[in-house]
A and B are shown apart, each in its own frame.
Chain A
Amino acid sequence: MAAPRVIPCLDVDAGRVVKGVRFQDLRDAGDPVAQAARYQAQGADEIVILDVSATPEGRGHAVETTASVRDVLSIPLTVGGGVRSPVDAQGLLEAGADKVAVNSAAVERPDLVRSLARRFGSQCTVLAVDAARVEGRGWEVVVNGGRTRTGTDVVSWVRRGVELGAGEILLTSWDRDGTRAGYDLELLGAVTQSVGVPMIASGGAATAAHLAEALAAGATGALVASILHDGITTVTTLKSELRKAGIGVRP
């Protein structure tokens, strides 16, 4: 069977890694190439880079960052953030991304998912979904870095995305992002049961126990960010603790 993945995520703004709480208050957290190489050496199974630049000038660095990170990585690389068209996706894939994640633009134009899947394959097409809890009604999709609530039900949107050809879901809990309170397991459970594609849990990881819970809830991969960037733990430590808990991660 495939091994559950531990996936460091680098939020990149104008070529630098940043990390905030609930997508806000971004702090500088380093050079993406050095960090990607360090996490790879620690045993990361994949790297995700999300471009969170607020300006077109900032986003202009994304292709260059992707190419520089690709040069040092011999593990898969997913790149997302600001992907609005097949041409954007192609630029990132040609620069060395193995998968491209779409988020806000796909919510506006769901057909973007279909175009990417047809052109590059479902294996390359990741649907990133940011989910915020709605009291008593499950979760709604939020876009534009959490600034806009759409009213769209997360489970329905993920189902639709998979029908359109998304080969993987990157599911972020907006409520938990950067809080270190653990992944939103109810959200994960609801979404993993509704579709048959691989699922990456994101938002809230602080400990190996949190990762283990997410994998038990059906995630096939767990995204980690601030606890690595802040030096609280390493991928090596997380994977060793997961192994002790009986989870068959890649050595």
Chain B
Amino acid sequence: MSPTVTIVPTGSANIASVAAALRRLGTASVLASAADEIRDASAVVLPGVGAFGPATQRIDDAGWRAALIRRVGDDRPTLAICLGMQLLFEASEESPGARGLGVVPGTVTRLGRGVRIPQLGWNGVSPNGRSRYVDAGWAYFANSYRVEAAPAGWAVATTEYGGRFVSSIERGNVLACQFHPELSGPWGSTVLRRWLTAAEEAS
């Protein structure tokens, strides 16, 4: 029995899809409101669609920043999706001046030239071999910005779209994906299930 997942309501549009994907895996979810719910939850999803600046603003206005930083630092089960992954980094070209959570070093940049932006569709994901959650496969993406350089100390997977970018990073019980596992069919469900299993073992 996997633990109830606490979703951080970043004001983003994919919360219903995340909750539905968890339900299909037999896992209940609740929306967090107070920072201590985020700090103490056995498993947290940080979803996100939209812009970097407004999302960091919302995190600060709600007082969630320290709880999120602490979770990742303490290796508590945490899954960050799409913009959620980008929020773990220090900054983004999308919103100059906005401060990310900074738990992973690096800056988020706009997708490369010669491709239609946003990237909306399925693309190949190639793990570098040390991944515990992500297999090679096809994932659904909805992004205009991305992480280019693999951060040290994290297992990564990469994808090609206007150049190679980092499509997931993971370390211990923390997984961050630029793709949407909740929208990536059976392959995505497997990613979610593996992370839920890790969360269950950690709790």
Contacts and interface: CB of A to CB of B under 8 A. Distances in A.
Interface residues of B, number: 38
Contacts of A251: 138
Contacts of B121: 2-5, 45, 198, 220-221
B182 A74 contact: yes
A220 B117 CA distance: 11
Contacts of B20: 70-71, 73, 96
B118 A198 contact: yes
B29 interface: no
A130 B16 CA distance: 29
Interface string A90-134: 000111111100000000000000000000111110000000000
Give the dominant DSSP class at B's interface: mixed
B89 to A, nearest CB: 18
A3 B122 contact: yes
Interface in B23-51: 23-24, 49-51
Interface string A43-85: 0010000000000000000000001001101111100000000
Interface stretch (B62-70, B140-148, B170-178): B140-148
Contacts of B117: 196-197
Nearest to B188: A74
Given A74-B189, A198-B116, A250-B138, A122 B144 contact: yes
Interface in B94-148: 115-123, 138, 140-144
For chain A, the bracket of interface size reads 35 or more
Contact of B17 (A3, A98, A122): A98
Given A3-B138, A76-B142, 4 more contacts: A2-B119, A74-B186, A74-B189, A77-B17
24 contacts: A1-B161, A2-B119, A2-B123, A4-B121, A70-B16, A71-B20, A74-B186, A74-B188, A74-B189, A75-B184, A76-B140, A77-B17, A98-B13, A98-B14, A98-B142, A99-B120, A122-B118, A122-B144, A123-B50, A123-B143, A167-B144, A168-B118, A196-B117, A198-B118
Interface of A: 1-5, 40, 45, 67, 70-71, 73-77, 93-99, 120-124, 167-168, 196-199, 220-221, 250-251
